[in-house]
Amino acid sequence: MGANFEEESLVFNTMTKADGEEVVAFMASHFYPREPLSTGLHMTYEDNKEWIHGSVREWSQSGASVVAREKTSGKIVGTLLATVLTKEQSSTFDEAITSPKIKVKTLHTVLSVLEEAVDFYEQYDVTKILELAMITVSAEYAGRGIGKKLVQIAERNGKELGCELATAQATAIPSQKMLERLGYESQYTMDYESFEIAGERVFDMDRMLGTPSAKVMAKRLVEPGTKSSGDKCSKNPNP
Ligand SMILES: CC(C)(COP(=O)(O)OP(=O)(O)OC[C@H]1O[C@@H](n2cnc3c(N)ncnc32)[C@H](O)[C@@H]1OP(=O)(O)O)[C@@H](O)C(=O)NCCC(=O)NCCS
């Protein structure tokens, strides 16, 4: 198989703490303006800045997150923030609840509903889960297989960390299609139009970027009964 464009000119690395702030800056420009929950709640990076730095710092040290850069310039073109969850530590968006802003609390509620919608530990009989929390590829590089490669590398990292299942809350059509192509199955659907908090609809449907629903998706990383290769799975293996 011949090397494709991104393999020749890009480098993919497991993220470290040192990448953290640059990753947040990348997401401010390339995630928030293009992700349906953010646009549908009229949210920008500014609205999320109280919690996103801490969460990205934590996710960047999970040992599973991945950053893609141009080889020549070092410029970031894609990021996948992932973490390892267990029954004892089963959610990853808790930081957002500390925000004083109503729309960030709304976002947190939505993410919590999605995160709690399926009991993966019970359903798949697993103990360690790789959660793909946020994925971004810059518009300039979209549609070239970079998102797919970020997920594949995160899955490999997750397996090495002992994870048996990968999960994602796919909030946009491109990420839903991408994960389907990679073998993920949808286990829960949240219809954006009818979703309510305390009897109120929360999303501006004109700004959902054509995506009708969020999907909670999952894929086994190891067959049931098979031991995964990793034995060093923890939330922060390289603090
Ligand atoms: C989601 C995202 C990361 C995809 O990255 P990408 O590098 O463009 O994706 P890829 O080129 O690897 O595409 C992988 C598959 O996804 C599907 N896909 C990608 N973009 C798509 C689109 N706009 N519409 C429909 N399908 C799409 C294709 O089926 C493709 O597989 P194929 O080429 O084998 O058919 C990117 O669109 C993005 O950053 N969006 C903004 C932020 C966001 O919404 N993040 C996800 C939140 S859960």
| Ranges assigned E (strand) in the chain | 10-14, 66-70, 76-86, 128-137, 165-170, 185-191, 196-197, 200-201, 213-220
CATH number at 16 reads: 3.40.630.30
Tell me if 193 is assigned to some domain: yes
| Structural domain boundaries, residue 117 | 5-220
Cβ of 146 closer than 6 Å to ligand 1, yes or no, is: yes
CA angle 157, 120, 159 (to 5 degrees): 15
Nearest CA to ligand 1 atom 19: 174
Tell me if 228 is assigned to some domain: no
Give the model confidence (pLDDT) of 209-218 as tens digits.
999 999 999 9
pTM, rounded to two decimals: 0.92
CA angle 89, 173, 146 (to 5 degrees): 80
Give the model confidence (pLDDT) of 10-47 as tens digits.
999 999 999 999 999 999 999 999 999 999 999 999 99
pLDDT class of 161 with cuts at 50, 70, 90: very high
- Report the number of distinct structural domains present in the chain: 1
Average pLDDT, the chain: 91
pLDDT at 96 (0 to 100): 60
Among 47-61, 92-106, 123-137, whose mean pLDDT is lowest? 92-106
pLDDT at 234 (0 to 100): 43
Tell me if 108 is assigned to some domain: yes
Residue 228 pLDDT > 60, yes or no? no
Cβ of 39 closer than 6 Å to ligand 1, yes or no, is: no
Tell me if 235 is assigned to some domain: no
